[in-house]
Structure 1
Amino acid sequence: MDSDRLSLLSRWPGVVAIALAATLVAVIAGHRLEPVAGDILLTKLLPAKLARDDIVIVAIDEETLEGLTYRSPIDRGLLADIVAHVDKAGARAIGLDILIDQASEPEKDALLLTTLEQAHTPLIAGRAGTREGLTQAQERFAEEFLAPLKTASVALARDEIDGTIRRLPQSGESGETFSRTLAISGGEMPENLSDRIVYFTGNDGRPHAFPTYPAHAAALLPPDWFAGKYVLIGTKLATSDRHKTPFSAALGAEAGLLNGIEIHAHMLAQYLEGRHIAILPRLAETLIAAAMALLGAALVALRASPALRVAGVAGLVALYFGACFAALQWGETLLPLVMPPLAAVIAGAAMGGVHWFQDRAERKFVEQAFSRYVSPALVKRLVSDRKALSLGGEKREVTFVFTDLEGFTSVSEKLAPAEVADLLNGYLDKVCERFIAHGATIDKIVGDSVVGFFGAPEPQDDQACRAVDLVLELDRLCEKLKEEASAKGVALGLTRIGVHKGEAIVGNFGGSRFFDYTGIGDTVNTASRLEAANKHLGTRVLVSRAVADACPEHAFRPAATLVLKGKSEGVDCFVPLMSSQANSEAITAYREAYRAMSENSGEAETLLAKALEICPGDPLARYHLARLRRGKQGTTIELADE
């Protein structure tokens, strides 16, 4: 088994954990949206068309009530006339969705009861109870009045969350349901379905409009309009018995309201046509969401580009929606539309976040690891720009810094290998830390020497000042390390430093497999030779005039004009000073002596002697005084002659 496969397997516990968490979030966030999504799918994307025309409604509307002596209870004489006319017309079945829950005029009550009992057409009277808001007295009256008749519950299954009528009411304590009983009475034997109501739509996308006749004119209508049909008698008022349906999600709250009698007509049509939309149990929906979450997380966990991972999750969601469409169209099953895709997206996003953090951690690890071998500035450049790996160079203004530890070879011969390694590693670690802290690019470490530069790979306008700050700190550090080593009985030498600023060709130089990011040119050589010149002058740090002129805020004292090996022109060299030294008596005396020396004045020797009296340990004053006493003049020194 290869490493990639092992790596993939090692991620599966995390994939499963993320999938479970995503499933939980999706179920909590999506369960309220799930029914609404189903509403839109059923009413807008896959609307059901009604093929039959044998269901009609006789509606008691506002115009009907305006013609009556009283609004409530509804005139029992009117109801008797309607039932008698529909019965005589030869209807297939009659459904009375009018609650008879209180007494009215005795004669009309008796007439209605007689008409209902003597009807030849199968007749179902709607029944309700205290659960539907009736008082106990109303419930008792209805039971007694309707006792001779066949009744069924007209209660609707209202969604507990948003009050929408989505599900078929189930037979239970309230007995058989109104629409199913009406279908049975008409000679059909529908299943007792436990699923969604199929709301039928018209060509305009709105709820199917069943033929509806006003109750006050029903007795005058031709018998053929009712013959062989299911006739539902109920109210159709704007102020009562109106319910929110799935059409509200697609058409708006008001457009989605239907009267109870219209909802019963839709349910009756559903039973008669045998249409049903099965709804999965909550557990099954949760398992589907979990499977989608697992797939979403797994797709992102695979080793692929971010674009392919996103495309994979998007494709998974698209396939799932296609499966939902197919399940509804050919399997009459409504799959959950929100929770599974949401779980897949959440899991994929979470896994992507984990990838991002892991990649970031790995990238940081690689940067830190490579920074032990290559300058951090180069690692950063390699990470941000792939072209940084190509061979080639460019001319840049750079400032090179060379350091060298004096006499370390002799010291190492007196120590055990482990002690040599500890001593050198400790020294180089601290020196390199200072290079990096000041923004330098470390070019190379050769033995006990460190070479670095400023101004590349990224431009640095203050490169010379950075270099001066670096060498001042390095000088203090190395002197401290020397003292600490001496206290342990190790004669660690002083560290010499050379700095020069100028143009150099900087880039990747080497072969196709191995190369260095370095600089080449006279600037590099000059910095190296300035470091070596410290040995002749007795100094620890030398910088060129190009560096000193670029740092007017720093203090320097002139060291000499050095004609380096292989050069015909001299390089003005300076020693950088700490701010506390800049105007000291010793430095002032040295500057006066150097001025006299540069003018070939006879006072130079006397002034140098005076400077040494003030600071007996000044190496430059001692060096120049010795030169003058050997008959040398001026400040220009050809190192080849020294």
Structure 2
Amino acid sequence: MLAKMSGKIFNLKNWQYLVSIFILVLVLGEMAGFWPVKGVQRLEWLSYDLRVQATLSHEEDPSIVLIDLDERSLAEKGQWPWPREVVAELIATLFLDYQIDLLGVDIVFAEPEGNQLALQWQQLREKFPELPEESPLPRGDALLAEVISHFPVVTGYYFQSSVTEQDPPSIGQLPAPVVVDADSELLASLPWPKPERYTSNLDVIQQEAWGGGFFDNPFVDDDGVFRRVPVLQYWEGGLYPNLPLAMIYQLLGEPPIQLDIAEGGGMQQLEGIDVGGFKIPTDARGGALVPWYGGRGHFTYVSAADVLAGRVDPAKLEGTLAIFGASAPGLMDLRSTPVASVFPGPEINASMLAGLLHQSYRAEPAYTNAAGVLLLGTLGLVITFAFPALHAVAVLVVSLALMAIHLGINFWAWQAGWVLPVASGLLLLILLAGWHLAMNFYRESREKGWVTERFGQYVPPELVEEMVDSHESFGLEGEERELTVLFSDVRGFTSFSEGIAPAELTGVMNRLLTPITQAIHAHQGTIDKYMGDAVMAFWGAPLKDEKHARHAVDGAFAMLKALEEINEVFTAEGMKPLAMGIGLNTGYMNVGNMGSEFRMAYTVMGDNVNLGSRLEGLTKPYGVKIIVSEMTAVAAPEYTYRRIDKVRVKGRSEAVTILEPLGLSSELTQETRSWLERYEKAMDTYHRAAFGQAKIQFEALKKERPEDSLPDIYLDRIAHYQAEPPGADWDGVWTHTEK
């Protein structure tokens, strides 16, 4: 049976291993990108955003300012677009009056300006057709271009990743691409963003600018949040920088831009970009994580209206790198970011520019993900094969510790500038811990159920539940407690079994002992042991029972009734009926786990236990089914008893009165009460040594109940004492020399 149970547990553990490995493969496959799961990706984004928010430096950089096209500027100068001469005035003022070093324009001038002067010239030509078609007065576009040509200005434009039939062709002129390598095939093979159209500045404006950079972002995550932006995009064989990179590129005098390409396994993968010693770690597509410094308004904002009106402290702008852009809600240049749900696009470019200057970009190269897969895979395998051997509490503690270590390593890496996946690792640990916790609880409950089922053959189920639920230790020392012990033995089992084949004897024994055991359990008894066809049981431990003697006597009668029902079945099958003798004694006994290091048993020991065994042995010579000691009779007064004898059993010098329980006092008939009264008078006469009178009384009792064997026993003793009278010191005790 134990081997069978062990096999079931082993199979259960096999399932635990298999499902754990399945969970491990599922999560690692998601991490590796084989089967992306949107929910996991969103958790990863959330963990990234939380790390960003928790580690914002809030360190101000006075070298970067934002020239803001805000609501106040629109109120003072009119709605956008402003006349180009106003923009030209703004740029000239920034450089001439406020001495900025470099200006990046986060706005595109894609359409020619139809200003009022041009309109007036056309009206004049209608009256005077001889006038030239083009006005000799400078147009706003030309004026803006003229101003830009005198200062270090980097213009902005945007690419469009996909086009529809309704979209126009590309507009304006792109600046020159950043030439990084003569190997055009290499450039084309890398997974850059490859847009399908662009919208750039008018030729006349772009040609006069120092350079240009895009400000669109094809890498916006599916939840609409800006977390990374492309550093370069590929267009018709060339690479084009984003606005912050273009500004640094021009500021450094257009140094060569180097691509950090890792090679391995016949593959080439982009890992970063170097511009004049300023490095940007990127992913394989050329995307860089935005280095956030603070919430909206972290960088210095200067209203464009204040610049034009001369209301700005020159010290705030002198020597700065400025970005001209819009934060006014109506101009639609607001983005969702990890640090704020509404964040101006120009400030994203300012963050990218600050990251370049301070070299504060965080790296997320592909091999970190591969390393994470390898590390978590190894950890997952250790968990898979270690957790089934741990208790549920240990699984929980170890899992929490591993989660803390995982978060600690991740935070350390974050502080060091590395972005490691968090959500996938936590998800793996949670799923594995949850699975093993559930299985360990289930397996332990199954094992407890098995113990209950098997141990319940010897101990009542409530005892098993108490032992399972109790926090106490059932130790080896035991304890002394008043209990009632029962011994029973089946009479004539040897002759009964002679006609039964040996192969069938075990089944017959089980059919015999099962209902007897059920009768004991039904009355809160604990099976101590089986000794062939004999049974030893006790009441009052380990569950305390104030009425242990009463319940023991109840159990004894229930055993006899169960035997009657068994005999009906056996006789119907052609087998002989069986008889049973039961002895009970109440007293203090030693109870507890007793045995050796190799085998333990919950049992009782002591002189009162031995007496109970002797009483069972006396049932046969006295011809009764149940014998109890006087201690049991006193402890169970609900029953009526008749005295059987006062005896001295083998191995015990002290005499004890033994009695036969006749039944519950409340259930005895008047006839039985009268008979018992006459019987007790005969016993009193016998113990007074009035043997002649006692003989007459016992003979009358024998005639009344011929089947009762006790009158015969006393008639034989009376004949003996009449022939050989006892001495004057006779105490009526009969000494038994056999067990």
When the two structures are superposed, what TM-score results if normalisation uses the length of structure 2? Answer: 0.67
Q: Which residue identity is paired with 1:291?
A: G
Q: 1:179 to 1:362 in 2, by over 3 A?
A: same
Residue of structure 2 in register with 1:31 after alignment = 41
Residue of structure 1 in register with 2:302 after alignment = 213
Work out the CA distance in 2 between the residues paired with 1:597 and 1:381.
50
Residue of structure 2 in register with 1:233 after alignment = 324
Work out the CA distance in 2 between the residues paired with 1:585 and 1:108.
136
Work out the CA distance in 2 between the residues paired with 1:103 and 1:621.
138
Residue of structure 2 in register with 1:59 after alignment = 68
Deviation at 1:339, TM superposition (A): 1.8
Q: Which residue identity is paired with 1:558?
A: R
Residue of structure 1 in register with 2:555 after alignment = 470
Q: 1:569 to 1:432 in 2, by over 3 A?
A: same
Counterpart of 1:97 in 2: which secondary structure?
coil
Residue of structure 2 in register with 1:83 after alignment = 91
Residue of structure 2 in register with 1:163 after alignment = 224
Q: Which residue identity is paired with 1:527?
A: G
1:124 pairs, out of 155, 162, 170, with: 155
Q: Residue 20 of structure 1 contacts residue 293 of structure 1 at CA under 8 Å; is this kept in 2?
A: no
Work out the CA distance in 1 between the residues paired with 2:732 and 2:429.
78
Residue of structure 2 in register with 1:97 after alignment = 107
Pairwise mapping of residues 423-442 of structure 1 onto structure 2 (< 5 A)? 423-442=508-527
Work out the CA distance in 2 between the residues paired with 1:294 and 1:508.
41
Residue of structure 2 in register with 1:19 after alignment = 24
Q: Which residue identity is paired with 1:277?
A: R
Q: Which residue identity is paired with 1:243?
A: R
Q: 1:312 to 1:510 in 2, by over 3 A?
A: closer
Q: Residue 92 of structure 1 contacts residue 229 of structure 1 at CA under 8 Å; is this kept in 2?
A: yes
Residue of structure 2 in register with 1:343 after alignment = 428
Pairwise mapping of residues 355-394 of structure 1 onto structure 2 (< 5 A)? 355-362=440-447, 364-365=449-450, 388=474, 390=476, 392-394=477-479
Deviation at 1:453, TM superposition (A): 0.7
Residue of structure 2 in register with 1:154 after alignment = 215
Deviation at 1:164, TM superposition (A): 2.7
1:62-103 CA-partner distances (Å, limit 9, x unpaired): 3333323x3344454432211233465584444142677797
Residue of structure 2 in register with 1:574 after alignment = 660
Work out the CA distance in 1 between the residues paired with 2:653 and 2:225.
96
Q: Which residue identity is paired with 2:431?
A: I
Residue of structure 1 in register with 2:277 after alignment = none
1:455-496 CA-partner distances (Å, limit 9, x unpaired): 123322232232123212210111222333333443343011
Q: 1:31 to 1:612 in 2, by over 3 A?
A: farther
Deviation at 1:405, TM superposition (A): 1.0
1:138-179 CA-partner distances (Å, limit 9, x unpaired): 998996983544375533468555433211147379986444
Q: Residue 289 of structure 1 contacts residue 340 of structure 1 at CA under 8 Å; is this kept in 2?
A: no
Measured on the aligned residues, the alpha-carbon RMSD in Å equals: 5.1
Work out the CA distance in 2 between the residues paired with 1:379 and 1:564.
41
Work out the CA distance in 2 between the residues paired with 1:11 and 1:137.
60
Work out the CA distance in 1 between the residues paired with 2:243 and 2:141.
19
1:461 pairs, out of 521, 524, 546, with: 546
Aligned residues: 617
Q: 1:617 to 1:459 in 2, by over 3 A?
A: same
Work out the CA distance in 2 between the residues paired with 1:80 and 1:329.
44
Q: 1:447 to 1:67 in 2, by over 3 A?
A: closer
Counterpart of 1:475 in 2: which secondary structure?
helix
Which consecutive residues of structure 1, in runs of 5 or more, have no partner in the other structure?
A: none
2:532 pairs, out of 447, 456, 460, with: 447
Deviation at 1:522, TM superposition (A): 4.0
Counterpart of 1:31 in 2: which secondary structure?
helix
Work out the CA distance in 1 between the residues paired with 2:139 and 2:711.
137
Q: Which residue identity is paired with 1:124?
A: T
Of 515-524 and 183-192, more deviation after overlay is shown by 183-192
Q: 1:211 to 1:309 in 2, by over 3 A?
A: same
Q: Residue 296 of structure 1 contacts residue 313 of structure 1 at CA under 8 Å; is this kept in 2?
A: no
Counterpart of 2:587 in 1: which secondary structure?
strand
Q: Residue 400 of structure 1 contacts residue 524 of structure 1 at CA under 8 Å; is this kept in 2?
A: yes
Residue of structure 2 in register with 1:270 after alignment = 355
Residue of structure 2 in register with 1:519 after alignment = 604
Of 70-79 and 505-514, more deviation after overlay is shown by 505-514
The answer to whether the aligner puts 1:246 opposite 2:338 as a matched pair is yes
1:425-450 CA-partner distances (Å, limit 9, x unpaired): 43234433433444323233333211
Q: Residue 612 of structure 1 contacts residue 622 of structure 1 at CA under 8 Å; is this kept in 2?
A: no
Work out the CA distance in 1 between the residues paired with 2:523 and 2:554.
8
Residue of structure 2 in register with 1:297 after alignment = 383
Q: Residue 334 of structure 2 contacts residue 343 of structure 2 at CA under 8 Å; is this kept in 1?
A: yes
Deviation at 1:419, TM superposition (A): 4.4
Of 620-629 and 534-543, more deviation after overlay is shown by 620-629
Q: 1:403 to 1:458 in 2, by over 3 A?
A: same
Q: 1:494 to 1:104 in 2, by over 3 A?
A: farther
Q: Residue 399 of structure 2 contacts residue 433 of structure 2 at CA under 8 Å; is this kept in 1?
A: yes
Q: 1:488 to 1:510 in 2, by over 3 A?
A: same
Work out the CA distance in 2 between the residues paired with 1:484 and 1:130.
90
Q: Which residue identity is paired with 1:563?
A: V
When the two structures are superposed, what TM-score results if normalisation uses the length of structure 1? Answer: 0.76
Q: 1:608 to 1:73 in 2, by over 3 A?
A: farther
1:237-289 CA-partner distances (Å, limit 9, x unpaired): 477644332224xxxx6xxx432221122223335666543446798599469
The answer to whether the aligner puts 1:41 opposite 2:51 as a matched pair is yes
Q: Which residue identity is paired with 1:80?
A: A
Counterpart of 1:245 in 2: which secondary structure?
coil
Deviation at 1:501, TM superposition (A): 1.7
Q: Residue 56 of structure 1 contacts residue 230 of structure 1 at CA under 8 Å; is this kept in 2?
A: yes
Q: 1:317 to 1:521 in 2, by over 3 A?
A: closer
Work out the CA distance in 1 between the residues paired with 2:201 and 2:467.
92
Of 185-194 and 395-404, more deviation after overlay is shown by 185-194
Q: 1:513 to 1:384 in 2, by over 3 A?
A: farther
1:192-233 CA-partner distances (Å, limit 9, x unpaired): 9433433353xxx65684444321232547999767754321
Deviation at 1:498, TM superposition (A): 1.5
Q: Which residue identity is paired with 1:63?
A: R
Residue of structure 1 in register with 2:179 after alignment = none
Q: Give the % identical residues.
A: 23
Pairwise mapping of residues 546-565 of structure 1 onto structure 2 (< 5 A)? 546-551=631-636, 554-565=638-649
Q: Residue 91 of structure 1 contacts residue 228 of structure 1 at CA under 8 Å; is this kept in 2?
A: yes
Work out the CA distance in 2 between the residues paired with 1:40 and 1:536.
88
Q: 1:464 to 1:435 in 2, by over 3 A?
A: same
Deviation at 1:16, TM superposition (A): 1.2
Of 565-574 and 461-470, more deviation after overlay is shown by 565-574
Work out the CA distance in 2 between the residues paired with 1:225 and 1:516.
89
